[in-house]
Every structure is written in C-alpha cells, then in structure tokens.
Amino acid sequence: MRTVGDIRGLRAVVQAWKKEGLRVGFVPTMGNLHAGHFSLIELARRYADRVVASVFVNPTQFGPNEDYTRYPRSLAEDSVGLVEHGCDVLFAPTVEVMYPFGPEHALRIHVPDVGDTLEGAHRPGHFDGVATVVAKLFAMVEPDVAVFGQKDCQQLLVVRRLVRELALSLEIVTGPIVREPDGLAMSSRNRYLDAHQRTRAPELHATLQWMHDSFVEGHALHAVEGAALRRLQRAGFEPDYMVVRRAADLGIPAPDERTGLLALGAARLGHTRLIDNLAFD
C-alpha cells in the first residue's frame, strides 16, 4: 500500500490506474479504524479494481463544543489494518491540504431538507462540513464508486443528494452496520466509554429493536417514540431523539405507512454521543 498526503501525488496514482482501464473505489474515513471500516474496504474491492481510503479528521463538521481535538487519531495502526484488508492507497492529507484558505474561510456546501433534520438540527453546521469535505475528496480522488456505512444513514442520504445535485459520475454503495456481539454498533467513539458505560451502551440498539416491535404491533408512532425516550433515560442515557422516519428521505411517515421505514436514535452516555438506526424491512 502506498501512502500519499498531497493532491498531485494522489492524482498521479489514480490517473495511472485509469489509463490502464481500472475501476477506482473510494472509502472516506476519519481514521481510528475498526472492523466496520475494514468491511467497507472489502466491499469496495467487490466493485473496483483498486481502492483508495482517506483518513482525515475534518474540522468543519465538528461544532465548537464537540470533540475535534480529542477525536482518536491512530494513523500508524490504521495503515496496518488497511494493508491487511487490501487497500491500495491511503490518502492522509493535512488540514492545510484540504483547506488551503483555512477551515474558517472555506466555502461551504449546504444540503437542504435531509441535512436540516435530526443530526442537522442537533448539530448545526455538521452536514455542511460533511458535504463540503466529501465533495472535495470526490474531486481529488475522482473515484468510480464510493462506499459508505449504513450506521451514519443520514450522512449517506446527504451524500446521495450531493452526488445527484452535482451530477457526479459516481456510484454510491452502502455497507451494512457492523455490530459487536452484544449489538452495539461499532464506532470510533466507543473507546470513550468506560467499563460501566460499555455494559449499558447496547441498550440503544435494544431500544431501536423495541421500537420496531412496538410499531409492528400497531402502537401509535408518537407513543412509540415517547416511550423509547423514557426507556433510554431510565437506562442512564440523555437522548437527543428516538424517531421513526421514512428511509428514503427521513420524512415523518403518514399514519398508513408501514413499509420503507427505519428507527433512528442519538443519545449521550456520559460524555460519549452514540448514534444508531434500524431498518424495519
């Protein structure tokens, strides 16, 4: 595996591949990689001849009181894992490479509607930063296919809208959520949990499953969502939202809608904010 940190070096490699007629896959990450990330590398391999992964902790998607400075960074360990899972190039740019005028002076891309609700409402500006950095990475890598995980399902919808809005010649592929044996969705932020919190963390996924079962049994949507919030609060969480939405656009389902839905949740456990979702179909 080759590691590059500059755009010129990255493009030289990718353009050489494309001259050979090879299909290029791309997996963007913020590093501190785990089995969920590596499953996306393996999935990209099924859709492409060569795979680029990026590791960049993007400052523009963090709010002023969020964990940008303490977000776990483990590039050396990440590199080893990427080699083991068949990555061809690691793109590890600096902030200066990604934002030549500085993050505070960078242009911003706003994806309305799907980017304004749920995470967008609780973390203002978050998806502007996501859309901006993803658009930049797509322009730098010029992939034929990009792979994203389903755990950040709202991010996935934002990216799909971005690709369609900008008419990018690019296929977006979704990888399933990878979970620990007890159901906790794998996340780089899980390492923030202490031992006691880690034993309670799977309750987020369990509550999403309960929401599915209650909804299927015919309980009213508002009742299911309210009860889910209270269930998490009793378990020691501070939930931001526990909702049932349309999977296609995160809209509130009509009373007679029973398919194409998913439950989404975000909650703090101590100082750690966890997100998860569960498709109903």
- The residue among 119, 124, 114 whose CA lies nearest residue 160 is 114
Query: 26 by DSSP, 3-state: which?
Result: strand
**216 phi and psi, to 5 degrees?**
-60, -35
What is the spatial distance between Cα 146 and Cα 143, in angstroms, rounded to a whole number? Answer: 7
Q: Angle formed by the axes of helices 203-216 and 221-234, to 10°?
A: 160
- The residue among 149, 94, 157 whose CA lies nearest residue 131 is 157
By the 8 A CB rule, do 173 and 43 touch?
Answer: yes
Q: Which helix (H) or strand (E) covers residue 108, if one does? A: none
Does the active-site annotation cover 212?
A: no
- The residue among 249, 240, 242 whose CA lies nearest residue 263 is 242
The 10 Å Cβ neighbour count of residue 226 is 12
Percent helix, strand and coil across the chain, each to the nearest 5: 45, 20, 35
Which amino acid makes up residue 120?
G
Active-site option among 37, 126, 205, 212 = 37
Does the CA dihedral 68-74-76-78 come out positive or negative?
negative
Query: 22 by DSSP, 3-state: which?
Result: coil
From the number of C-beta atoms within 10 Å of its C-beta (0-12, 13-18, 19+), residue 220 rates as exposed
What is the spatial distance between Cα 155 and Cα 36, in angstroms, rounded to a whole number? Answer: 16
Active site amino acids: 37
